[in-house]
């Protein structure tokens, strides 16, 4: 069994708030979608803006492996004719073999949006499709608001479908444009459509306003839909479109449909992250299948069971969709968690090892103070090494002083940090200015360490987060600082907690640089065992 996937990330997806792609971005996304085996890629609405028209010109320079590019537009304007309509002309100028147009299925839209008569709307549908077919185009017809239209006036909604089929539409896509339908209603409506049009080739286009777009899409497939429209990560207007990541994974792994090959399905998480990176949007870690937390385990009972048999708390093998299994360390952890994390770091530790209990008790005490190691695995690895007697002290802090001086109301504050550290018995005393006290402290520490550890020149602070902890009110509360660092190859996160934000930042900074040096030493040892 096969279902064709129709991706509208480049058109419907860009209607999401805070999402925007350049022409170059859209081309890169199209090539990535083609690479994983998407059947149809809707490039945009060439009649609506220059950017989409530019995409169709540019994508013509590429030889795609499988995907067919579709240009999107509407039926011609009621005051025009098919042959003179600028929108239909723009669709032809996009120079795609496949064209998707939408028309009105709901009398509310016919009267209030188009300001025309129901009969005239039927004429727009049939003549638009017929005109494009005469120009040699394959036409998909999106029956916009079909399910809402069917609820209000089933006879008219069915009549719009009949006109599209008679005019030569290869596939009619039934749209839940407002995203408010339940799966049971989708099912019963499609049943009526099939009874009226035996053998109809139909698809589904669902929005997610009731958080049911994926469920409604899969229901339509169970009812015989041959095409599913949606977007990667479910991006789209309002609450978004049906998420193709979840749809394709369910179709392939749960329902037995051949929409992607096994190898291409393994690229699913990579493609999901790639598109979000281009959109400069932070990934939703809790998204099914492709989210960072989709196969992440925190509870000690869960981790112990998954270590014995992953099926106990996982519905699929993570690698099938390009994801990985993760175990978090927290005050909910057990010794099995510590053992699993030690193995991830290449350290041997049994559950009965007293070190495991020592680390577990220390973690619980630190988390009681406000530390969290779920997103600071570098700090946890250093902690584990220390408990096992394998840690190395790369430098010793003698002391630091940070001054933040505001010289006048109209001038920015000036931050200066002075630091003393000892490396191998040698004392270093340096100072630095920075954009704020933490930046000044970071610069001073770097200046002190880089002469001893030149590899630190590659390290950049990638992200810096401060959270006020709820234990004490007001400015006397503790803060937790989470720092993400990178050396251009790897990312790692470290944590610090204190009543003093500079002290908490120092803890996280010190762990970050210690981890980089530890990592470099471990890599060197692996090369020269």
Q: What's the confidence (pLDDT) of residue 471? A: 59
332-337: long-range contacts (C-beta < 8 A, 24 or more apart)? 332/298, 332/299, 332/300, 333/298, 333/300, 333/303, 333/360, 333/363, 334/300, 334/301, 334/303, 334/304, 334/360, 335/360, 336/300, 336/303, 336/304, 336/307, 337/300, 337/303, 337/304
Question: What distance lies between CA 11 and its chain's CA centroid?
Answer: 17
Tell me the three state secondary structure of residue 97.
coil
Element containing residue 69 per DSSP (H, E): strand 68-74
Q: Which has the minimum average pLDDT: 62-76, 140-154, 359-373, 383-397?
A: 359-373
Instruction: Give mean pLDDT, residues 41-45.
Output: 97
DSSP state of 231: B
Distance CA 280, CA 161 (A): 39
Q: What's the confidence (pLDDT) of residue 466? A: 87
Strand 68-74 versus strand 40-44 pairing type: parallel
In angstroms, the first-to-last Cα distance of the chain is: 52
Is pLDDT at 115 greater than 90 in this prediction? Answer: yes
DSSP state of 75: P
Helix 183-196 and helix 213-222, axial crossing angle in degrees, nearest 10: 30
Three-state SS sequence of 289-342: CCCCCCCEECCHHHHHHHHHCHHHCCCCCHHHHCCCCEECCCCCCCHHHHHHHH
- Phi, psi dihedral angles at 24 (to 5 degrees): -65, -40
Say which residue the tokens 């494009």 belong to: 132
Q: What's the confidence (pLDDT) of residue 307? A: 80
Q: Where are the beta strands (DSSP E) in 171-325?
A: 171-176, 202-206, 227-230, 296-297
**How do residues 44-79 score in pLDDT, each as one tens digit?**
999 788 889 999 999 999 999 999 999 999 999 999
Distance CA 512, CA 456 (A): 10
Sheet holding 479-486, edge to edge: 460-468, 479-486, 491-498
| The dihedral formed by the CA atoms of 318, 324, 327 and 329, expressed in degrees to the nearest 10 | -150
265 pLDDT band, cuts 50/70/90, is: very high
Question: What distance lies between CA 257 and its chain's CA centroid?
Answer: 24
Q: What's the confidence (pLDDT) of residue 183? A: 98
Q: Which has the minimum average pLDDT: 125-134, 341-350, 362-371?
A: 341-350
Distance CA 138, CA 87 (A): 17
- Top mean pLDDT of 376-380, 400-404, 460-464 is at 400-404
Q: What's the confidence (pLDDT) of residue 302? A: 83
CATH node for 396-527: 3.30.160.270
Q: What's the confidence (pLDDT) of residue 332? A: 47
Element containing residue 482 per DSSP (H, E): strand 479-486
Nearest to 213 by CA among 189, 181, 188: 181
Is pLDDT at 372 greater than 90 in this prediction? Answer: no
Tell me the three state secondary structure of residue 4.
strand
Q: What is the mean pLDDT of the chain?
A: 89
Element containing residue 403 per DSSP (H, E): strand 396-405
Tokens, residue 67: 């995907």
Give the right CATH number for 4-260 from 1.20.5.50, 3.20.20.70, 3.30.70.270, 3.30.70.1900.
3.20.20.70
pTM of this prediction? 0.71
Phi-psi region of 371 (alpha: psi -120 to 50; beta: other; left: phi over 0): beta
Distance CA 469, CA 480 (A): 7
DSSP state of 467: E
421 within 8 A of 395, measured Cβ to Cβ:
yes
**How do residues 209-239 score in pLDDT, each as one tens digit?**
999 999 999 999 999 999 999 999 999 999 9
DSSP state of 212: -
Q: Which has the minimum average pLDDT: 337-351, 446-460, 508-522?
A: 337-351
Distance CA 508, CA 515 (A): 10
**How do residues 131-165 score in pLDDT, each as one tens digit?**
999 999 999 999 999 999 999 999 999 999 999 99
Q: What's the confidence (pLDDT) of residue 291? A: 94
Instruction: Give the percent of the chain with pLDDT over 90.
Output: 67
How is the chain split into domains, by residue range?
Answer: 4-260, 296-386, 396-527
- Phi, psi dihedral angles at 141 (to 5 degrees): -115, 120
Distance CA 469, CA 2 (A): 52
Q: What's the confidence (pLDDT) of residue 357? A: 65
Distance CA 50, CA 391 (A): 59
Angle at 34 between CA 30 and CA 35, to 5 degrees: 115
Distance CA 100, CA 140 (A): 5
Strand 414-423 versus strand 426-434 pairing type: antiparallel
Which positions ≥6 away from 119 have C-beta within 8 Å? none
Nearest to 499 by CA among 475, 523, 521: 475
88 within 8 A of 103, measured Cβ to Cβ:
no
Tell me the three state secondary structure of residue 285.
coil
């Amino acid at each position: 069994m096969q279902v064709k996937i129709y991706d509208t990330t480049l058109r419907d997806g860009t209607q999401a708030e805070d999402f925007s792609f350049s022409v170059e971005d859209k081309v890169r996304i199209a090539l990535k979608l083609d690479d994983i085996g998407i059947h149809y890629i809707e490039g945009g609405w060439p009649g609506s803006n220059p950017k989409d028209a530019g995409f169709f010109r540019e994508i013509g320079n590429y030889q795609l492996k499988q995907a067919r590019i579709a240009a999107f537009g509407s039926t011609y304007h009621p005051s025009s004719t098919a042959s003179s309509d600028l929108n239909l002309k723009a669709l032809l100028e996009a120079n795609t073999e496949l064209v998707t147009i939408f028309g009105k299925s709901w009398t509310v839209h016919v009267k209030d949006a188009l300001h025309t008569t129901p009969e005239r709307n039927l004429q727009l549908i049939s003549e638009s499709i017929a005109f494009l077919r005469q120009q040699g185009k394959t036409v998909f017809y999106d029956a916009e608001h079909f399910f809402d239209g069917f609820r209000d006036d089933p006879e008219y909604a069915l009549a719009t479908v009949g006109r599209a089929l008679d005019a030569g539409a290869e596939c009619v896509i039934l749209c839940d444009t407002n995203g408010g339908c339940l799966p049971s209603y989708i099912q019963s409506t499609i049943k009526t459509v099939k009874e009226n049009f035996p053998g109809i080739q139909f698809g589904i286009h669902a929005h997610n306003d009731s958080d049911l777009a994926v469920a409604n899409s899969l229901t339509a497939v169970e009812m015989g839909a041959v095409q599913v429209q949606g977007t990667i990560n479910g991006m789209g207007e309002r609450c978004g479109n049906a998420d193709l990541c979840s749809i394709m994974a369910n179709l392939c792994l749960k329902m037995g449909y051949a929409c992607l090959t096994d190898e291409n399905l393994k690229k699913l998480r990579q493609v999901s992250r790639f598109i979000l990176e281009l959109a400069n949007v932070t990934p939703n870690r809790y998204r099914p299948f492709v989210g960072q937390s989709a196969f992440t385990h925190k509870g000690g009972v869960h981790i112990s069971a998954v270590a014995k048999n992953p099926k106990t708390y996982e519905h699929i093998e993570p690698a099938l969709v390009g994801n990985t299994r993760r175990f978090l360390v927290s005050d909910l952890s057990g010794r099995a968690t510590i053992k699993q994390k030690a193995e991830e770091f290449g350290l041997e530790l049994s559950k009965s090892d007293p070190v495991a209990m020592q680390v577990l008790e220390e973690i619980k005490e630190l988390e009681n103070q406000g530390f969290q190691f779920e997103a600071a695995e570098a700090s946890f690895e250093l902690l584990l090494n220390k408990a096992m007697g394998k840690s190395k002290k790369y430098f010793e802090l003698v002391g630091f002083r940070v001054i933040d001086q505001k010289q006048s109301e109209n001038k920015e504050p000036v931050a200066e940090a002075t630091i003393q550290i000892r490396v191998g018995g040698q004392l270093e005393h340096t100072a630095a200015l920075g954009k704020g006290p933490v930046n000044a402290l970071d610069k001073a520490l770097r200046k002190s360490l880089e002469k001893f550890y030149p590899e630190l020149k590659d390290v950049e602070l990638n992200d810096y987060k401060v959270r006020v902890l709820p234990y004490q009110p007001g400015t006397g509360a503790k803060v937790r600082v989470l720092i993400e660092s990178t050396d251009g190859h790897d990312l790692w996160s470290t944590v610090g907690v204190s009543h003093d934000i500079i002290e908490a930042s120092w803890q996280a900074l010190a762990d970050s640089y210690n981890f980089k040096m530890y990592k470099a030493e471990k890599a060197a040892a692996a090369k020269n065992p």
